[in-house]
Amino acid sequence: MSLFGEHAAGWLAIGLLGAATDRARRRDWLVAAAGVAAAHGASIGVKRVVRRSRPDHPSVQVLVGTPSRLSFPSAHATSTTAAAVLYGRLLRRPLPAVLVPPMALSRLVLGVHYPSDVVVGSALGAAVATVTRRLARTRRQKGTTR
């Protein structure tokens, strides 16, 4: 899970695969993938502003490498939540309930995040997904009124 979520690469690949295979909704898949990329970018931006260090305690064993020492928010939780919301809507499946808890829990078990990192990361991912959907809907409505 950690490798799949690194830099949102796995989620972006799924979005591009959806765009390549679902021609009728290609634009929707590309918008959803762009939303996942935006969510990941937002989490990186917040990390650089907040600059919270990752857990560093003798009782916490870190079980995976990380691209930076910054912890807040969890980019994995952010991009996973955005992907679950956006792709779940396209697939008409309750993906947030299935995908988000295991990814969030994995970040804690691996010793690379505090609980608040994954909670705020998930909230940020959901917010970016919501904005992405609203912007896409507004753009689609403007396109049909022309």
Question: Looking only at Cα atoms, what is the longest distance across the chain?
Answer: 62
Look up residue 98 and give its two tokens: 């299935």
Domain that holds residue 122: 2-144
Helices 26-50 & 75-91 angle (0-180, nearest 10): 160
Per-residue CA distances from 100 to 50, 61, 78, 107 (Å): 23, 23, 9, 11
Long-range contact set of residues 61-69: C-beta below 8 Å, sequence gap at least 24: 61/111, 62/110, 62/111, 62/112, 63/109, 63/110, 63/111, 64/2, 64/110, 64/111, 64/112, 66/112, 67/6, 67/7
Structural domain count of the chain: 1
Per-residue pLDDT of 74-102, as tens digits, reads 999 999 999 999 999 999 999 999 999 99
Average confidence score pLDDT of the chain = 93
- For 123, residues 6+ apart whose C-beta sits below 8 A from its C-beta are 81
Where are the alpha helices (H) located in 51-71, listed in sequence order?
A: none
Tokens 């690194």 appear where?
6
Band of pLDDT at residue 65, cut at 50, 70 and 90: confident
Instruction: Detail the DSSP E strand segments found in the chain.
Output: none
Quote the percentage of the chain above a pLDDT of 90. Answer: 75
Question: What confidence score (pLDDT) does residue 6 get?
Answer: 87
Report the distance separating Cα 98 and Cα 138, nearest Å. Answer: 29
Per-residue pLDDT of 25-45, as tens digits, reads 999 999 999 999 999 999 999
